Amino acid sequence: MTTVELTRFRVLPEKTSELLAARAEMLSDFAADRVGFLGARLVQLPEGEWLDIVEWDTAESFAASREKGGNLPGIARFFTAIDSLVVAEEGTLA
């Protein structure tokens, strides 16, 4: 079953362009390095908040990705632009 990672976070206004500039490289790094990565969507919410919706082929693939953290430059650059985490959740695509 497809596992969905839902991460809501805050970005300071002055870091928004940095976040968006890093996105393509982050997705490229995920595709090259993260087994089971299916795709992702980034949603801009009001008041500097964002929601990242990432799909994984299994919960195990998602867990393995979390263990790697920001191990590649594009991923690290994206994570660095984030000011604070609001909530991170995991679910299954229905």
pLDDT digits (tens, 9 = 90+) for 34-76: 999 999 999 999 999 999 999 999 999 999 999 999 999 999 9
Determine whether domain 3-92 maps to CATH 3.30.70.100: yes
DSSP class of residue 26 equals: H
Between CA 31 and CA 66 the distance in angstroms is 14
Q: Is the dihedral of CA 29, 79, 87, 44 positive or negative?
A: negative
Would you place residue 18 in the very low, low, confident or very high pLDDT band (cuts 50, 70, 90)? Answer: very high
- Which pTM value belongs to this model? 0.94
